[in-house]
Amino acid sequence: MKGDAPVVLGEPKGYTAQKAGVKRGIAILDFILRLVGFIGTLSSAIMMATTNETLPFFTQFIRFRAEYNDLPTFT
């Protein structure tokens, strides 16, 4: 084992600082898009929860009906 060459650890072939910067930029963009999606989902859930919805319930024929009066999109 005296003749073994030392193992040198370093950057892999073809690895540059530019590739690392691109990966970091994609990661930041991914985080921003996830944050926008979360905020959109949360705001939609809050708007649906705070609308004036009525659910008439009939015992013989079970029927649910929701009316959203606050948002013109759902009326």
Cβ pair 68, 57 in contact under 8 A: no
| Whole-angstrom distance, CA of residue 64 vs CA of residue 11 | 63
Distances (CA, A) of 18 to 13, 25, 31, 35, 70: 14, 11, 20, 26, 50
For the chain, which residues make up each domain, given as ranges? 17-74
User: Helix %, strand %, coil % for the chain, to 5?
Assistant: 50, 0, 50
pTM of the model: 0.52
User: Tell me, what's the pLDDT at 45?
Assistant: 85
User: Tell me, what's the pLDDT at 46?
Assistant: 84
The per-residue pLDDT for range 15-58, each reduced to its tens digit, is 676 777 889 999 999 999 999 999 999 988 888 777 766 666 66
